[in-house]
Amino acid sequence: MDGLYPSSYPMPKSSTVVGIPVLGDLAIQDGRIAQIALPGTLHGERTIDVQGRYITPGFIDIHTHSDLAILINRPAESAVARGYDQIVGNCGMSPAPVYEAHFADIRSYWGDEAEMPGVTWGWRDFAVT
């Protein structure tokens, strides 16, 4: 890459990149980091001044109390706002996978949340196929 990107690509400038602690510029292309370079070396028509801030990978929330939240609030703003891009079940109790033998118990456990608009029980796991 030549360090020059179209205006549609945001250019966070001078952030601390977590995971590989380095002060640098990033090129974002199609929602992904395309390049990491020394400060001031990447140029584009659209830049974002993030000096003094951190760029981090998504985080995994390994203990959440919002197992059905993705069904109730599909955009999951509360998780995204905290930087989480993956959520793992709660305390060993998760609504998926749901095995037929335990289906009634699982649904009962979730109480009122199990009946909220948007929560359907025709699925048996969260796998994307």
Closest CA to 66 of 84, 39, 52: 84
Question: Is a pLDDT exceeding 80 seen at residue 89?
Answer: no
pLDDT tens digits along 44-57 = 878 888 888 877 77
Give the highest mean pLDDT range of 28-42, 69-83, 112-126.
28-42
> Is pLDDT larger for residue 42 or for residue 128?
42
Q: Which of 34, 55, 76 is the last residue of a domain?
A: 55
- Domain membership flag for residue 127: no
> How many folded domains does the chain comprise?
2
pLDDT of res. 1: 45
> Is pLDDT larger for residue 24 or for residue 20?
24
Asked whether 9 and 24 are in contact (CB, 8 A), the reply is no
Gap between the Cα atoms of 53 and 73, Å rounded = 29
Low-confidence winner among 72-76, 87-91, 106-110 (lowest mean pLDDT) = 87-91
> Is pLDDT larger for residue 112 or for residue 8?
112
- Domain membership flag for residue 122: no
pLDDT of res. 17: 66
Domain limits at 38?
4-55
Gap between the Cα atoms of 120 and 12, Å rounded = 40
- Domain membership flag for residue 9: yes
- Domain membership flag for residue 23: yes
Query: Which residues, including other chains, have CB under 8 Å from residue 6's CB and lie 6 or more apart?
Result: 44, 45
